[in-house]
Amino acid sequence: MLQPKQTSWVILAGGQARRMGGQDKGFVAFKNKPLIEHAIDILAPQTDQIAINANRSIEQYTSYGVTFSDQFSDYPGPLAGMHSGLINMNSDWVGFIPCDSPNLPDNLVALLCDAVKEDTDIVVAHDGEYMQPVVTLMHKRIIPKIDAFLARGDRKIILLYKECNTVFADFSNYPNAFINLNSPQELEQFGSLL
């Protein structure tokens, strides 16, 4: 069985944040602190291996820890950050969370690890209704598949998941865990809920 200490984790902060008016989402304030700090606060009690994937504000992110950019240019999306995380982290299993979901549960790492079976390539969080494609745990053996996938111009994570042995971790007991703050409106709307 996979133990949480055998994993390392990457906070995905490499997007363009178009709906946030182009502002770097990791530094958008929520409850008086930047979203990147919320993400670190969620992971820090669960793992001691945390890095950040970012494509701008590198110096600022580096003040929080190890930071690396996508290997593919033109912001191809979260999959490029995952690809970079798999290449840069030392553990066989690398987990990912977005920087804009400040309500993820404090047992997220354990729930994802518990779902791993012997032949699993990828574990994806599932809230009972929908899969949450960027809250995931991946094995390094899929690097060649992601390489090929991105090189041919594919971007949809769900299509990659269909090409791999993907299983789901049950997060149905955490209905508000996956609220993500993509726009100023969502910050305002969910601020009261969270």
- pLDDT recorded at residue 154: 80
Residues 144-189 pLDDT 10s: 999 898 888 888 888 999 999 999 999 999 988 998 876 556 666 6
For 21-36, the pLDDT digits (tens) are: 556 778 888 888 999 9
Report the SS3 class of residue 49: coil
CA atoms of 68 and 52, how far apart (whole Å):
6
Residue ranges for the binding site? 12-14, 25, 53, 100
Domains and CATH numbers, the chain: 4-193 (3.90.550.10)
For the segment 45-81, what is each residue's pLDDT rounded down to a tens digit?
A: 999 999 999 998 899 999 999 999 988 776 668 899 9
Binding site for GTP: which residues? 12-14, 25, 53, 100
Instruction: Round to whole Å and give the CA distance between 132 and 141.
Output: 21
Binding residues for Mg(2+): 100
